Structure 1
Amino acid sequence: MTSDPLAAPRGTVTLADVARAAGVSLATASFVLSGRAGSRSAGSAATKEKVRAAAAELGYVPNRHAQAMRTGRGGGIVLTLGALDDPWGVQLTTQVREDALVHDLSTLVLADERWFQYLMGASADAALLTSIDFVEDGPDLTRRLAASTHSGLVAFSAQMEPESFDVVSSTPTRAIAHAYRRLRARHEQVRLLAPDFSHRPGGTFAHPRAEAFLDAAREHGDGPGAALVHLVPEGSHETYVAAAAWLAGPDRPEAVICFTGYQAVALQIAAERAGIAIPEDLEIISIGDVPAATEYFGPLSYYGVDDVFARLSRILIDRATDRRDRPGELHTFDWEFFPGTTTRDPDGA
């Protein structure tokens, strides 16, 4: 009776089983299946195909923890987004997931701001830190992470400069000033719809976006600025409920700058359901990209970064796949206006 060399053995399939079935050395199988198939040690194209075919046939699943200890790679990209219902984060995650799978990398989303605690005890090939500027000691925590085993850090920050990690600098300060000027040209009052960050140091009014809005109001002689800010609980559903109440009350706005894309979507839905004509009776501008898949009515007008999700994904994939010690790079993302149906100037004037 001839035994099938690719027949699945009993128990857990090991790397040695794959190497034996493919007729290669353990080292060659390791190189092929650990994401280092581009190395000469991985053998010819035919050898790599034999190893992959054997692994697939046997149902081999690599031990990511052991692989991380052996190679310094964790097999994944961590996105520290802090929330799960922001369309911006959902679109970024989708883009990174699609790009990362090609390189045999998984995508993990951290839905809170405890990124330092998590990453200090985890192996990751790359990690995007998005809340550095808004948590206590954010820059210092980033440097401490970089000084450990994390050479694949990408810091989303308007405060930091590249060190051993990349920095994506993308500040909407000027965009908010432009949005205010655009709406103020047609309205006596411009409002800001913002999440309540009372749980963060300084609260909402210490956030750079709120500060930029208050500066714009002050430059136009409007105020008091704080009275122009309408705070609502965080989250898409919570924003919708609060926006519906706002639009039904005596303080109904005519021109609103929204702190984030998900808030703009929630306000637009609330206005449409209330029968408020957009943009005739209410103009909305989002600060931040609004993915088309999240829009329920006409496209929102927003200030954002062209091709932002693909650009961020490329930076992360590059950091995840190139593990050499190298200086960090600065990536500057400029903001521009993308007109939609929620403003009266569709030509962007």
Structure 2
Amino acid sequence: MKMVAERCGVSVATVSFVLSGRRSGQVAASAATAERIRTVAAELGYRPNHAARAIRTGRSGLVLLSLTQLSDPWCQSVSHAVNEASADRHLQPLILADGDWGEVLDTQPVDAAFLDAGTGADLDRIRGLVRRGLRLIVFSDDLEPDGFDVIRSPQQPGCGLAMEHLLADHVRIGCLTGSDPSRPGWHREDAYFAALQEAGIKPESDHLQRYTHDLAGVYDAALRLLDRADPPTAVFASSDFAAITVINVALRLGMSVPDDLAVVGVGNTEEGTQLHPSLTSVGPTEFFSTLADLIIQLAERPDDHQPTRHDFPWQLHRRESS
């Protein structure tokens, strides 16, 4: 840092201010000076000493993302959005893929953490982390802010929108859902059964197929649902991950989407929008970028932050697959 200061003709304090990413304080630098410092630092191969910074500032520069299934496009969209948002904020996302977030947070200092699935059973552990000063954002349908922020995005009304959309043109509707009750989205099949009952349609037992949470498991379940003499004409999938696999299996079987099979997923993920045909899905609008901003803001530790519930209502995003 001293060499950067000498090359730029400024103080070490100014270099520290610019390279730390701080936006306020007793030391300031013009935009031109800040750009010159960053350029010289890059030329000299400067790398910040995160351990020293953590000791000096009490911050680690790390943000933990606890994601249930990293292969799922929803989790990938969260990771991508946070990576983009943190790129110029001197924060490094640390991804925990389907691990024990409590155990990791007991040993790894982070500036903030996002948990993608929190329930009442987790409340005592979450409160324990909050008492230690950890800043948390928890995605949950039932928890309320209690020293931590809550992301609320009600699933059942949104899944009802998906079924309402399919029922406008279809009677024989299949459902692809997970097999593990502890996973997010387990109860989304309730909206499937409720919508069929309201429409006066008796569900066929083999029109609901469960999958294990890996690509092979989803593929096998989609194949069981579609590879038959009289397959359903539409599928409600409990995640975009499952819906994308349904489309791939349908195309492999020679079916046309949406002419032979309409497909709707859950999550409104970036991968679904880039698919051909693009995936109709239910979910919030601009959810991932907004969530990323909330996580980064929390990690930057505003003194006046109050634990908040952030509500994200779902919408139907109609695209080519239906």
Give CA-to-partner distance per residue, 1:210-242, whole Å, 9 cap, x none: 344344445455567976531012123431243
Aligned position for 1:334: 313
Change (3 A) 1:45 1:303: closer
d(CA) in 2 for partners of 1:185 and 1:45? 56
Aligned position for 1:154: 137
Aligned position for 2:239: 260
Aligned position for 2:299: 320
Q: How far is 1:284 from its partner?
A: 1.4
Secondary structure of 2:241's aligned partner: helix
Alignment of 1:245-256 (within 5 A): 245-249=224-228, 252-256=231-235
Aligned position for 2:107: 121
Aligned position for 1:34: 20
Task: Give the gaps of 5 or more residues in structure 2.
Answer: none
Asked if structure 2 preserves the Cα contact closer than 8 Å seen for 1:86 and 1:236, the reply is no
d(CA) in 2 for partners of 1:208 and 1:82? 16
d(CA) in 2 for partners of 1:167 and 1:254? 38
Task: Give the gaps of 5 or more residues in structure 1.
Answer: 1-14, 344-349
Aligned position for 2:215: 236
Alignment of 1:39-50 (within 5 A): 39-41=25-27
Alignment of 1:1-349 (within 5 A): 15=1, 29-36=15-22, 38-41=24-27, 52=38, 55-133=41-119, 137-151=121-135, 153-197=136-180, 200=182, 207-220=186-199, 228-249=207-228, 252-292=231-271, 295-324=274-303, 326-343=305-322
Considering only aligned residues, what root-mean-square deviation do their CA atoms show, in Å?
3.0
* TM-score normalized by the length of structure 2: 0.86
Q: How far is 1:80 from its partner?
A: 1.2
d(CA) in 1 for partners of 2:176 and 2:220? 13
Give CA-to-partner distance per residue, 1:192-217, whole Å, 9 cap, x none: 2012216x3xx89x933234434444
* TM-score normalized by the length of structure 1: 0.80
- The letter of the residue matching 1:181 is E
- The letter of the residue matching 2:177 is A
d(CA) in 1 for partners of 2:18 and 2:172? 62
Q: How far is 1:18 from its partner?
A: 5.3
Q: How far is 1:270 from its partner?
A: 0.5
Q: How far is 1:342 from its partner?
A: 2.2
d(CA) in 2 for partners of 1:99 and 1:57? 24
Asked if structure 2 preserves the Cα contact closer than 8 Å seen for 1:191 and 1:256, the reply is yes
Asked if structure 1 preserves the Cα contact closer than 8 Å seen for 2:63 and 2:94, the reply is yes
Secondary structure of 2:245's aligned partner: helix
d(CA) in 1 for partners of 2:42 and 2:109? 25
Give CA-to-partner distance per residue, 1:11-32, whole Å, 9 cap, x none: xxxx566567666666555444
- The letter of the residue matching 1:74 is S
Secondary structure of 1:41's aligned partner: coil
Change (3 A) 1:221 1:46: closer
d(CA) in 1 for partners of 2:165 and 2:293? 33
d(CA) in 2 for partners of 1:309 and 1:29? 33
* Identity within the alignment, %: 33
Q: How far is 1:97 from its partner?
A: 1.1
d(CA) in 2 for partners of 1:218 and 1:225? 12
Q: How far is 1:321 from its partner?
A: 2.1
Change (3 A) 1:161 1:62: same
Asked if structure 2 preserves the Cα contact closer than 8 Å seen for 1:191 and 1:228, the reply is yes
Report how many residues are paired: 322
Of 122-131 and 317-326, more deviation after overlay is shown by 317-326
- The letter of the residue matching 2:131 is A
d(CA) in 2 for partners of 1:265 and 1:224? 23
d(CA) in 2 for partners of 1:220 and 1:113? 41
Aligned position for 1:10: none
d(CA) in 1 for partners of 2:45 and 2:306? 40
d(CA) in 2 for partners of 1:251 and 1:79? 43
Q: How far is 1:96 from its partner?
A: 1.6
Change (3 A) 1:222 1:148: farther
Give CA-to-partner distance per residue, 1:176-200, whole Å, 9 cap, x none: 22323333344444332012216x3
d(CA) in 2 for partners of 1:127 and 1:240? 32
